[in-house]
Homo-oligomer: A and B are copies of this chain.
Amino acid sequence: MTEPSGRRERKKAATRQKIADTALHLFLERGYDTVGIRDVAAEADVAVTTVFAHFASKEALVFERDQDFEQRLTRAVTDRPPREPLIPALHREVQALVQHCTAEGSAPVRRLIEGSPALQEYEESMSLRHAQALATALAADPHLSRSATACQATARFTIDAYALACRADDPGATVDEVFRMIEAAWEATAP
Interface residues of A (CB under 8 A from B): 120-122, 124-125, 128, 147, 149-150, 152-154, 156-157, 160-161, 163-164, 168, 173-174, 177-178, 180-189
Measured between beta carbons, the chain B residues less than 8 angstroms from A174 are: 149
Known: A121-B121, A121-B125, A125-B121. A181 touches B160 (CB 8 A): no
Query: Chain B: which residue is nearest A160 at the CB level?
Result: B156
Most-contacted residue by chain B among A122, A168, A188 (CB, 10 A) = A188
Known: A124-B124, A184-B188. A177 touches B149 (CB 8 A): yes
Question: Would you list 10 pairs from A and B whose C-beta atoms are within 8 A, ordered by A residue?
Answer: A120-B125, A149-B164, A149-B177, A153-B164, A153-B177, A157-B157, A181-B186, A181-B188, A181-B189, A184-B185
Tally of this chain's copies: 2
Query: Chain B: which residue is nearest A122 at the CB level?
Result: B121
In the assembled complex, the CB of A152 is this many whole angstroms from the nearest CB of chain B, namely 6
Measured between beta carbons, the chain B residues less than 8 angstroms from A185 are: 157, 181-182, 184-185
Measured between beta carbons, the chain B residues less than 8 angstroms from A181 are: 150, 153-154, 157, 185-186, 188-189
> Are B168 and A161 interface neighbours, CB within 8 A?
no
Query: Chain B: which residue is nearest A167 at the CB level?
Result: B152
Set B125, B152, B173, B183: member contacting A188, Cβ < 8 A: B183
Top 9 nearest A-B pairs (CB, nearest first) are A184-B188, A181-B185, A156-B160, A185-B185, A184-B184, A153-B178, A121-B125, A149-B177, A184-B185
Query: Chain B: which residue is nearest A165 at the CB level?
Result: B149
Set B120, B156, B173: member contacting A164, Cβ < 8 A: B156
Measured between beta carbons, the chain B residues less than 8 angstroms from A188 are: 180-181, 183-184
Q: How far is the CA of A156 from the CA of B184 in the complex (A)?
A: 16
In the assembled complex, the CB of A188 is this many whole angstroms from the nearest CB of chain B, namely 4
